[in-house]
Structure 1
Amino acid sequence: MASIISCHPYSSLFTSPLKQPIIHPKLSFSSHNNNAPIRLLQPLCCSQNPPPFQPRTKQENGLFSLKGCAISIALAVGLMTGVPALGWPGQANASNPALSDVSVLISGPPIKDPGVLLRNALPIDNKAIREVQKPLEDITDSLKIAGVKALDSVERNVRQASRTLKQGRTMIVSGLAKSKVDHGIELLNKLEAGMDELQQIVEDRNRDAVAPKQKELLNYVGGVEEDMVDGFPYEVPEEYQNMPLLKGRAAVDMKVKVKDNPNLDECIFHIVLDGYNAPVTAGNFVDLVERRFFDGMEIQRADGFVVQTGDPEGPAEGFVDPSTEKTRTIPLEIMVNGEKAPFYGATLEELGLYKAQTRLPFNAFGTMAMARDEFEDNSASSQVFWLLKESELTPSNANILDGRYAVFGYITENQDYLADLKVGDVIESIQVVSGLDNLVNPSYKIAG
């Protein structure tokens, strides 16, 4: 059964770099909950009171001795306070070193905004547009300053972005794909006009209007950056070329009916799927969405760490393709920064890439990934999960999930409401709202 395993909070984590944490039989999450399949699901919701940010995840097979000592005290505090541990498939390889380096754990503040992560994950290399993007993103931090004083900082952000756009416009336009130049220039014109409008908002001292305008401008930036991608940037390995592939991006809206919650009745989660970095994984999901595979399916796991769905009724633990009458499985697919194509069929640990950073990290609340069997890297099929929490014990940019599970998207709207979902809540529908034309080899069409 595809699952994520929970370790006992007092597992021996520091005995040896070659020993894995002890799994407590009573606290391990089996693949079924009350005899129901475990599933991960992602919703979009409307609620009066957004849930607080979640507790935390844990780390993996023992932290290596001397370097682990630098963080062992902090970890021990977390363990003694009862912070649950989260283990993962692939954890049983006793020869695996643990996290690569303490410097990774304590490096600068991680990026947790799904929009930023998605923009940074695009396969482009245009310094000019990135220099426009950054000060606009920094407005989020500027708004953390109390009162109207924040607007002075916002004004500096806007001036920097506007100046950079004017100076780098020629370079930006030269980076647009030939077939998308007109659309890219249209977005640049809207971006330039929008920054003038944001400057006026700041001068009017209208703090409440800043964030909505910032979001609009960053949407323009993201659109320009997508217009820089000229076709699909690499060849998928031959053995996977006939599978459903998402060669680009798509977005879906997932509508969930919530039971027994006085503050929440129905949720719609907007999810962006990234086929540039996970074409097989994202293509498999979009194909299942078009088959209406998830419609009417219940949330099958909601334990404070993840929300999961995708395990169909019956003995099969994944999608059974009616054309073959066999469970369709997909390979583990991990894109690493600095690489031109994903790695397939192995975790980064198994590949010896202990310091590698994944292009789609488990940084954001509502990160979407495939569940799989514990010891089978290529066993994912239809069960998906959304990560609910980030932990001091499993920090963003340096956690055991990265490189072990295939991330293929993020919830970008209403992700905070994921924590309101419970086992038994029903996915009324998942619908593709954009990017369906990026799906190739759609098996649902072949099946009729």
Structure 2
Amino acid sequence: MASSLLSSAIFPRSLLPFHPSLRSRSTRTPQTRSIRLDIRCISARNPSTEFLDPNDSLLNNGMRRLERAIAVILIFVQISSPLPFASWSPWSISPARAVLYSPDTKVPRTGELALRKAIPANTNMKAIQDSLEDISYLLRIPQRKPYGTMEGNVKKALKIAVDDKESILSNIPTNLKEKGSVLYASLVDGKGRLQSLIQYIKEQDPDKVSVSLASSLDTVAEIELLQAPGLSFFLPEQYLKYPRLTGRGTVELTIEKGDGSTFSASAGGEPRKLATIQVVIDGYSAPLTAGNFAKLVIDGAYDGMKLNCVNQAILSESGPQNNGFSVPLEIMPAGQFEPLYRTTLNVQDGELPVLPLSVYGAVAMAHSEVSEEYSSPCQFFFYLYDKRSAGLGGLSFDEGQFSVFGYTTVGREILPQIKTGDFIRSAKLVQGQDRLILPDEK
């Protein structure tokens, strides 16, 4: 049975990166690489012994025993050390390359946070968002939380909001200005927003701070979405032949058990034969990938499609070859203005995507069976991120290798219950069809 899971007849080449035994050498654990290096160094000829008589077998035997003992000691040190890239490491490493392993690496831990960060909004709103997002990290400090710093962050956000009100509202289209003004007022003056957040921080109540912060960030995201009516960049002309999503969309998937069993009940509920999952797809960072997926959903390509469970992923079947477009691999690097096409990111050199794979419930396209420079025309997967299989920085070793185009926002608790043989009864685009541009439209 185990061998059949690796059969290319069942799982094409597009799935192979998920199997740990098939990873490239660059994704081996740092402990393995450092051990290999230490052994190479010890096995090399030692210049300090060249003056000794090479015919002295007793001396040679003693030296070999000493080399083996040193090798064992170095291997033990490398394995037992919690920081394989400490400054005393026998091999040099640039600070940028350590991003994969640094525990201080700041990456979105939820799909909601990743989606907020991906909105191409007004710079003032982004400054407000960044100031508030920092509080989320400060709340993770287990004991003496820096409430003074948190209060400073909120006051900074409030000052930007008040001082730059005209700039913030002027970036909202005319037909949406009324809604934007209401949201702005609720953020600055409304109950449960920034003013209340300051009060809860002064009371040093972490639970109330967390709830109020989430409410404030939701309002910030709503304002930012009003400021982003379409793409902030022009697509290359050769890619205008593909469907494209010029904003956000929501896809609702209804999942059914293939063996007739039920999904476990949620709190206070009943076991269900059907389960619903909602995925927010992001055209701001992956317009071609999200657009192709949205069109497939509208065309009913996923209705009745079976699901397969592989290592850390729930994968759809590949579907008929005439379904979908062979979209080039599409990844938006953090800090860049537009996506990269047909190229992966080198996370070890510090390149991070706007939409990270390293989030439980991330949704991405599998690779094309023909070329890893392209995504599969139809086959997608839910990524079941597990920090135990990631680097110290919380990044998957497959980060930057796939076109991530959205996140599971409703029904994440359903994902671990899905088994091979379960299937998608129906898939619907419930929001965002007005943002979908098809190739034959001008």
What is the TM-score with the length of structure 1 in the denominator?
A: 0.68
Q: 1:384 aligns with which of 380, 384, 395?
A: 380
Q: 1:372 aligns with which of 354, 367, 375?
A: 367
- CA 1:281–1:103 in structure 2 vs 1: closer, same or farther (change >3 Å)? closer
Deviations 1:340-376 (A, max 9, x none): 3222223346xx9954322212121111110124561
Say which is worse superposed, 141-150 or 112-121, in terms of deviation. 141-150
Alignment of 1:9-408 (within 5 A): 26=3, 29-31=6-8, 60-62=24-26, 69=34, 101-106=97-102, 107-124=104-121, 126=123, 128-141=124-137, 144=140, 158-159=154-155, 161-177=157-173, 180-192=176-188, 193=190, 194-195=192-193, 196-198=195-197, 211-229=210-228, 231-258=230-257, 259-263=261-265, 265=272, 266-303=274-311, 305-312=312-319, 316=320, 318=321, 320-321=322-323, 328-348=325-345, 354-373=349-368, 376=371, 377-391=373-387, 394-395=390-391, 398-408=395-405
Question: Which residue identity is paired with 1:29?
Answer: L
RMSD: 4.4
Q: Secondary structure at the match of 1:369?
A: strand
**Structure 1 contact 371–383 (Cα < 8 Å) conserved:** yes
Residue 69 of structure 1 and its aligned partner are, at CA, apart by 3.3
Name the CA distance, whole Å, in 2 between partners of 1:207 and 1:186.
Answer: 28
Question: Which residue identity is paired with 2:358?
Answer: N
Q: 2:406 aligns with which of 388, 404, 409?
A: 409
Name the CA distance, whole Å, in 2 between partners of 1:36 and 1:104.
Answer: 28
Q: Secondary structure at the match of 1:131?
A: helix
Residue 422 of structure 1 and its aligned partner are, at CA, apart by 1.0
- CA 1:103–1:343 in structure 2 vs 1: closer, same or farther (change >3 Å)? closer
Name the CA distance, whole Å, in 1 between partners of 2:125 and 2:361.
Answer: 27
Identify the residue that residue 86 of structure 2 maps to in structure 1.
none
Identify the residue that residue 92 of structure 1 maps to in structure 2.
none
Deviations 1:48-98 (A, max 9, x none): xxxxxxx99996433699995399989x969xxxxxxxxxxxxxxxxxxxx
Q: Secondary structure at the match of 2:254?
A: strand
Name the CA distance, whole Å, in 2 between partners of 1:60 and 1:36.
Answer: 18
Identify the residue that residue 61 of structure 2 maps to in structure 1.
none
Structure 1: 5+ residue stretches without partners? 1-24, 41-54, 79-98, 322-326
**Structure 2 contact 277–412 (Cα < 8 Å) conserved:** yes
**Structure 1 contact 58–391 (Cα < 8 Å) conserved:** no
Structure 2: 5+ residue stretches without partners? 38-74, 81-94, 266-270
> Which one scores higher on RCO, CA 8 angstroms, separation ≥ 6?
1
Name the CA distance, whole Å, in 2 between partners of 1:273 and 1:28.
Answer: 30
Deviations 1:272-316 (A, max 9, x none): 11111111110010001111221222222254x01111423xxx4
Deviations 1:6-55 (A, max 9, x none): xxxxxxxxxxxxxxxxxxx94963456xx589999xxxxxxxxxxxxxx9
Name the CA distance, whole Å, in 1 between partners of 2:186 and 2:415.
Answer: 33
Q: Secondary structure at the match of 1:254?
A: strand
Percent of pairs with identical residues: 26
Deviations 1:240-290 (A, max 9, x none): 212211111111222223435444534322211111111111001000111
Q: Secondary structure at the match of 2:250?
A: strand
Q: Secondary structure at the match of 1:123?
A: coil
Question: Which residue identity is paired with 2:327?
Answer: I
Name the CA distance, whole Å, in 1 between partners of 2:147 and 2:414.
Answer: 29
- CA 1:393–1:428 in structure 2 vs 1: closer, same or farther (change >3 Å)? closer
Identify the residue that residue 432 of structure 2 maps to in structure 1.
435
- CA 1:221–1:419 in structure 2 vs 1: closer, same or farther (change >3 Å)? same
**Structure 2 contact 105–394 (Cα < 8 Å) conserved:** no
Identify the residue that residue 420 of structure 1 maps to in structure 2.
417
Q: Secondary structure at the match of 1:101?
A: helix
**Whose radius of gyration is greater, 1 or 2?**
2
Residue 215 of structure 1 and its aligned partner are, at CA, apart by 3.2
Q: How many residues align?
A: 370
Residue 421 of structure 1 and its aligned partner are, at CA, apart by 1.3
Name the CA distance, whole Å, in 1 between partners of 2:339 and 2:359.
Answer: 21
**Structure 2 contact 14–369 (Cα < 8 Å) conserved:** no
